Amino acid sequence: MKKTLSILLVCLVCAVCCVHAQKPTNGQPYLCEFGLQGGFGYYVGDANPHIFINPREAYGLQFRYKFTKRWALQVKAASQRITGHEYTYEQGIGPVKQDAMWQNQLINIDIIGEFNFFRFAAANKLDKRIKPYTPYIFLGIGAGIYGAEGYTNGNFRKVAAYFPFGIGFKWKFHDRVGLNIAWQHNVYFADDLENRANLADRYDMNGSNVMNCDLTGMFTAGIVFEFAQAKKECRICNW
């Protein structure tokens, strides 16, 4: 996994170095984007009580369709490894953290709606409201596939829905190439991402507290490439 992530990050850096700085353009915008992303992720649950504990590699692919300069729809597939400490239970003491670690692999598929704070497109001399950069927020629905108790890591036997949301930043540094940075949180409707029976519903709260669920997060950066140019708004104009 580390080798795969390293190769992905090298490709992203090379792509940035091979393009030129953005110049204002009156060209038609592109409706679609395809991109690669890589970074790190973490898990919060019965074994890790806080964010950024035991971070591991995360990477994936994304497709975006832009309805307007403010609104877009993104479909994303990502792989994320989560890990934490094993626990044992001692009479009169309760859970005791061990040095041994567990791990599990997650495959996530998201459908996300996005809202840009600025009117986002390639710089346009005719409309000063348009910016080649913007912060944005997003939320949507997703499904995670992961290993189940009793099976070795990598045998994806369980599926759980989750609620993805987060914040990000977009920057078009070339007419058809851009940079995306995103911090995403996935609130799962499940409490067994650890692939360990003794870590699932450890506090016996799932029956009374439906929000006692696992959470994962990812902080990623990626390169996107635009295609499918929109039709001209003015037939006699050069823009």
**Mean pLDDT over residues 103-128, rounded?**
86
Q: Indicate whether 136 belongs to any domain.
A: yes
What is the domain-level CATH number for residue 129? 2.40.160.20
Q: Indicate whether 238 belongs to any domain.
A: no
How far apart, in whole angstroms, are the C-alpha atoms of residue 60 and residue 75?
A: 11
Residues of the chain above pLDDT 70, percent: 72
At residue 6 the predicted structure's pLDDT band, cuts being 50, 70 and 90, is low
List of residues 6+ apart from 166 with CB closer than 8 A: 137, 138, 139, 182, 183, 184, 185
Q: Indicate whether 55 belongs to any domain.
A: yes
* Residue 147 predicted with pLDDT over 60: yes
The predicted structure's pLDDT at residue 195: 79
Q: Indicate whether 153 belongs to any domain.
A: yes
* Residue 236 predicted with pLDDT over 60: no
Domain total in the chain: 1
Q: Say how many C-beta atoms besides its own lie within 10 A of residue 77's C-beta.
A: 12
More confident residue, 154 or 42: 42
Its domain, for residue 59, covers: 2-22+31-229
The predicted structure's pLDDT at residue 156: 73
How far apart, in whole angstroms, are the C-alpha atoms of residue 186 and residue 146?
A: 14
pTM: 0.78
| DSSP state letter for 9 | H
* Residue 115 predicted with pLDDT over 90: yes
Phi, then psi, of 147 in degrees rounded to 5: -70, 150
More confident residue, 40 or 228: 40
